[in-house]
Amino acid sequence: MAVGAIALVAMGALDEEPSVAFSEEQPFGQPSPYSNGRSCAACHAPEDSFTLTPDNVTRLLDHGPVR
């Protein structure tokens, strides 16, 4: 299981560990079934070296819940 899914379980966002939430079957650009409807790529932008930056988070929040 990927680190992202472990973090969701640790934060209590999931009742159980997902089997395919973050895997080869769930591409980086596709919304995760266990998320807020965004894909990983919506927040982890290539122009930011795939990191989550405060500016990117602000931009996302200013433009609605789902990209």
Q: Is residue 15 part of a domain?
A: yes
Q: Is residue 16 part of a domain?
A: yes
Most distant pair of Cα atoms in the chain: their distance? 34
pLDDT, one tens digit per residue, over 13-60 is 545 555 545 555 567 888 877 777 788 888 888 888 888 888 888 888
Nearest to 10 by CA among 57, 1, 62: 1
Residue 7 — φ and ψ, nearest 5°? Answer: -65, -40
Contact (CB, 8 A) for 60 and 42: yes
Q: How many CB atoms lie within 10 A of CB 43?
A: 19
Q: Is residue 11 part of a domain?
A: yes
* Domain extent at residue 50: 3-62
- Global pTM? 0.46
Q: Is residue 51 part of a domain?
A: yes
Q: Is residue 67 part of a domain?
A: no
How many structural domains compose the chain?
1
